[in-house]
Amino acid sequence: MTKAELISKIAEDAGITKAAAGTALNSFIEGVTKTLKSGDKLTLVGFGTFSVSKRAARKGRNPFTGEEIKIKAKKVARFKASKEFSGKL
């Protein structure tokens, strides 16, 4: 499903315009992003938890040359589905 398809689904289910659904979805994405940037986690009961995890620096290999390369440490977004949500899949 693409973002446009999700916006259409939200608009149809909520009985609102696609523009309003797009604004709502963008607001949700922005809220999640700001929360994770500040180092907090976001829990949606019955759906799951968004959090930030630190990935340590490590060594890797260039698949073309086989040369060893250094991969920098970075923060990554994580999502853990709730038990209720996982049960619906």
Number of domains in the chain: 2
Q: 20 and 55: one domain?
A: no
Q: Which residues of the chain have pLDDT under 70?
A: none
pLDDT of residue 84: 93
Structural domain including 29 reads 1-40
pLDDT tens-digit readout, 59-75: 999 999 989 999 999 99
Q: 26 and 46: one domain?
A: no
Ordered alpha helix ranges (H), the chain: 3-14, 18-37, 83-87
Phi, psi of 59 (to 5 degrees): -100, 145
